[in-house]
Chains A and B, each alone.
Chain A
Amino acid sequence: MTRVLLAFLMRRHWWTCGLCVMLPVMIGSIVGVIYPTMEKERSVIGPMLDLMRNWFPELPNFLRPEGAFVWPYMHPMTLLAYVLAPAIVALAQPAGERGRGSLDLILATRLSRSRLVSSVFLFLVPVSIVMGLGPFLGSVIGSALCGELGAVPLGAYLLCSVEASALSLFFGSLALLVSVRSRDRGQATLVFAAITIGWFLVDVVSQMWKDAPDWVARAGPFGYYDPLGLAREQQVPLALDLFVLLGGVAVCVGCAIWSARRRRSA
Chain B
Amino acid sequence: MRFGEVPGVLDLNLAVHVGEVYGFLGPNGAGKTTTIRLLLDLLRPDVGEVRVFGSEVRAGGAALRAHVGFLPGDLALFPFLNGFQTLRFLEGLSGREAILRDQLLERLRFPLDALKRPVRTYSTGMRQKIGIVAAFQHDPRLLVLDEPTTGLDPIVRDAFIELVNDRRAAGRTVFLSSHVLDEIDRCADRVGLIAGARLRMESTVSELRESRPRTVVLRYADGRRESRQHHGDPRELLDQIPRDGLVEVEIRPATLDEVFRSVVGEDTR
Interface residues of A (CB under 8 A from B): 1, 3-5, 8, 11-12, 100-102, 104-112, 115, 264-266
Contacts and interface: CB of A to CB of B under 8 A. Distances in A.
A1 B42 contact: no
Given A12-B78, A101-B76, A108-B70, 14 more contacts: A1-B92, A4-B92, A11-B80, A102-B76, A102-B78, A105-B72, A105-B76, A105-B134, A108-B68, A108-B72, A110-B93, A111-B93, A264-B43, A266-B41
B10 interface: no
Contacts of A5: 93
A257 to B, nearest CB: 14
Contact of B40 (A108, A115, A264): A108
A110 B63 contact: yes
A266 B43 contact: yes
Interface in B68-94: 68, 70, 72, 74-78, 80-81, 85, 89-90, 92-94
Contacts of B70: 104-105, 108-109
B42 A109 contact: no
Contacts of B171: none
Contacts of B72: 101, 104-105, 108
B54 to A, nearest CB: 18
Nearest to B44: A264
A81 to B, nearest CB: 22
Contact of B80 (A12, A106, A266): A12
A116 to B, nearest CB: 10
16 contacts: A3-B92, A4-B89, A5-B93, A8-B81, A8-B89, A12-B80, A101-B72, A101-B76, A104-B70, A104-B72, A105-B134, A106-B93, A109-B65, A109-B95, A112-B62, A266-B37
B63 to A, nearest CB: 7
Please provide the 5 A-B residue pairs with the shortest distance between their CB atoms, ordered closest to farther.
Answer: A4-B92, A108-B70, A109-B93, A101-B76, A102-B76
Contacts of A115: 62
Contacts of B80: 11-12
B43 A265 contact: yes
Interface of B: 37, 40-44, 61-63, 65-66, 68, 70, 72, 74-78, 80-81, 85, 89-90, 92-95, 134, 144
B42 A104 contact: yes
B81 A11 contact: yes
Contacts of B61: 112
Contact of A110 (B65, B77, B85): B65
A8 B68 CA distance: 21
A110 B95 contact: yes
Nearest to A99: B76
Contacts of B40: 104, 107-108
A163 to B, nearest CB: 33
A74 to B, nearest CB: 34
A193 B146 CA distance: 36
Given A1-B93, A102-B78, A110 B44 contact: no
Contacts of B81: 8, 11
From A100, A104, A111, A264, residue with most partner B Cβ within 10 Å: A104
Contacts of A107: 40, 42
A186 to B, nearest CB: 16
A110 B43 contact: no
A4 B90 CA distance: 9
B77 A102 contact: yes
A4 B98 CA distance: 15
| Of B42, B44, B70, B90, most A-chain CB atoms within 10 Å | B42
Contacts of B65: 108-110
A4 B134 CA distance: 15
B95 A1 contact: yes
